[in-house]
Amino acid sequence: MTYAETLRRHRRLAILRFLEESPTYTSNASVLTDVLNSNAIGIDTSRDQTATELAWAST
């Protein structure tokens, strides 16, 4: 597994955990990108990367 794949898996897990804690189990790419970039998560993520992970999650 490459470093990029490890980051991708970590992003996906962080997104799913955040959505699980959200009252309506929803959010948008902007908020999720901010969450991923926060000090609590600390994964440098662009909105495009977040959108890609959201597309994965919706399949």
> Distance between CA atoms of 29 and 41, rounded to whole angstroms?
15
* Chain segment 2-59, per-residue pLDDT in tens: 999 999 999 999 999 999 999 999 999 999 999 999 999 999 999 999 999 999 988 8
Q: What is the pLDDT of residue 58?
A: 86
Residues 53 and 8 sit within 8 Å (Cβ to Cβ)? yes
Residues 2 and 40 sit within 8 Å (Cβ to Cβ)? no
Q: What is the pLDDT of residue 57?
A: 87
Query: What is the C-alpha R_g of the chain?
Result: 11
